Structure 1
Amino acid sequence: MHNAPFFLRYKLHHLLIWMLVFGLWYMLRYEDYSSQERAFKITLLKVADLALLIYITNYMLIPQLLYKKKYLLFGLIFIALIFCSSIIKMSLIGKILNNDQLLNFGANLKVRLYDNVIPHFFLVTAGAAIKLVVDQIRLQKKMTDMAKEKAEAELSFLKSQINPHFLFNSINSVYFLIDKNNADARQALHKFSDMLRYQLYEANGEKIPVEKEIDYLKDYVDLQKLRKDENYLVEFNCAPEVKDFFIEPLLLIPFVENAFKHISHKTNQANFVKVHLSRHNGLFEFAVENSKENCVKLTEKHGGIGLTNVKRRLQLLYPNQHELVIENKDDIYKINFKLKI
């Protein structure tokens, strides 16, 4: 949810461009005025006015109205801004030039429209057109990246996939070979079968109910519990409100995998992994915390797809809809993920 106001994202090249516009404007028009001081003030006023209108249009009206298909409201506000800005600009120029005629917008209305409002309209429209073209290019690039990554993921999946019928038949055979008194082993194999079925058959769609993703996480955490002794505390807490919305499949598991991979192995104090899921105020919040050591040891050689890839996936799937905060302290590693739903 990186929706910082546009002035916080203002970059140096914007300033350089407006300085160039000011310089060219001044060179072309300074002879029209009685002094260079007046020419400087009027040029600065016109460039600042144009810049302000372009930024209001590009970073407020277009995202909030045009892209949300509020075309009539966008058009009305856009035209009103042009007229109001033109009136204010001409009034200020009139004061700089000590010209009373410029203070009266109604005088020579056709001339005012031709010399001020219409050029103003086309200049701001040109700035908006540049914004629309740039946004379209970025959208096309994002769509291309998503298609490429999806194709790569599907190819990787196909390469690693084995015959599922053979696999499930083998699991069933092993299940019946396990002694009936060994309930833990049977339950673990059953959970593994459910996880595998989820990955093979249900996680191929674009989005799935969050309840299925939670069941998958629970099975994974339960399997990890079997590998740990009493010196390892594993918590999994999911609020009842976390339901009735859809999420990208296998989006949360890398964070949990990472926690178990980097869990500490202390003998004099508890080692822990804590997973919390909650929902409030239109936000889904997912937090994973684990104890760690300064010298990190991996409990598994392989696992997960890496937090770097997860961040990239989130940028593609949920642009401006998520927040990911990672805290890496000496003895604790924590991620807090928030998603607009």
Structure 2
Amino acid sequence: MKEEWYNQKWAIIARHVLAWGFFLSLPFLLHPSYEHRNDEHMNDKQIWGIYMAIYYLELVIIFYLNAWYLIPRLIYKKKILKYVGCILGVFLFMYATRWGFGKTLLHEETMDIKPTILFIFFSLFFILSASTAFQMIVDKMKMERKISARENENLKTELSLLRSQVSPHFMFNVLNNMVSLARKKSDVLEPSLIKLSSLMRYMLYEADEDKVPLEKEMEYLQSYIDLQQQRFGKNVVINVSLDALENHYEIEPMLLIPFVENAFKHGTGLISEAQIDIRLHTSADKLFFSVRNKFNEISEEIKDKTSGIGLSNVKRRLNLLYGDDYVLQIDKKDDWFVVSLQLNLH
């Protein structure tokens, strides 16, 4: 998956540079004007400006030293005493730098120790707090990305398994159709085999994609329905209407076929005046799909024992792929089994 531009390395470096540029410019932006000061005083201020630049550079180094080294290697490993010792060493180094600078360049005979210690302490405390918060946020974001990537990988694996369940189930039904036609020595066996070949091609080469054109999925459904219609002939009334006005929509492959398989499985056999109605149309970026079939309560229990991967499979896939972007209704009423699916295609 392509990384968002704001998470790319150059964008992260740019944010750091801008943040530090603003932070380091504050002393100069807030620095009073020295236009009316004498030359000797100006020289002292320039020396102090150099010291402050060095001091702020120290803070920058401490920020990343704490974030990239001390926290991962000491805090996260619960080596608290070593961490405290390192911070104390950093504090003493900063104090020694201030003392040496005052002695060598400013020729200070005495240094006011208390305000110097307080100034170094509070600035060090601020930079360490900011550094710690920064690194913990970064680490948390990395962990969340890893968890998300792991969940996506698990999702892909689960979807792949669900698809692999659909294929054998479908093939089992279709091959039964072929056996039935062969026994009847039907003239439609050859065109049926050609249709089966096209279906297998779809399953092998296109069903592995994340999405396929809705038109392809409709062709797949129609071929399957044609094979079933050839098998049952006039024993089952089959009404089909697959009408998608727009051809730019995409859908999860082999998502709709379990509903149709279920209708032929439970809507044929010991059923008087068997009938299956299949409707599909699109409107306003939504797909409306319905399948209904007559069923017989007597034979229902027997068939249910061998139908464990149909509707439960597709419900799971809908939840994984579309979340709240679908509405599925399944009803049994007056000897009719009705499935209605509304799916957001945007």
TM-score, normalising length from structure 1?
0.47
**Higher relative CO (CA 8 A, sep ≥ 6), structure 1 or 2?**
1
Which of these two proteins has the greater Rg computed from alpha carbons? 2
